[in-house]
Amino acid sequence: MGFARGIAAFNLESEAEIENVDRVAASIGQKAIGAIRINPDVDPKTHVKTTTGKKETKFGVDIERAERVFEQYRSLKNLRIGGVHIHIGSPVYEIQPYIDAVKKVTALIDRLTERGHKIEWFDAGGGFAVNYERPDQALPVTEHAKALLPLLQGKPYRIAF
């Protein structure tokens, strides 16, 4: 558990947030844990205003520089980076963007693990579409599971959606 207020983990969007959480934790004599939000540069094929996983959006750390960010903040005294999370957009009607994002991020986690980083969890986000106006608008969640579970089976970290 992190801060005295019961914060289990912080979702860290940027280097500035990583530094701020570490600084605040130090100032109150606490340890914090967090997960870096990775921007996997995947087009979720949804509305431009709710797309958050493409490189040009302002959310998260670009996947190209993620390894450098993990290395840069490897030895913080008051913040342990133990997870990775993504959120590519909402509502996402297709499965392929999730497949692409999960493949990119699990490969990143594999590389980080080889370099000695302990990734304890991967939060693959949300944004799955639901049926609002038509009963056939969104795929059942079981279809997402069929596509994604084989990519995540046997991984040594917890998975969240």
Question: pLDDT tens, 15-66?
Answer: 999 999 999 999 999 999 999 999 998 877 655 554 454 556 677 899 999 9
pLDDT tens digits, one per residue of 94-118: 999 999 999 999 999 999 999 999 9
Q: What is the pLDDT of residue 133?
A: 73
CATH code (residue 123)? 3.20.20.10
Residue 5 falls inside a structural domain: no
Residue 1 falls inside a structural domain: no
Domain that holds residue 22: 10-160
* Structural domains in the chain (count): 1
% of the chain at pLDDT higher than 70: 88
Residue 38 falls inside a structural domain: yes
Residue 4 falls inside a structural domain: no
Give the tokens for residue 113. Answer: 């693990």
pLDDT at 127 over 50: yes
What count of residues does the chain have? 161
Q: Say which amino acid occupies 8.
A: A
Residue 134 falls inside a structural domain: yes
Q: Is 55 left (phi over 0), alpha (psi -120 to 50) or beta?
A: alpha
Residue 2 falls inside a structural domain: no
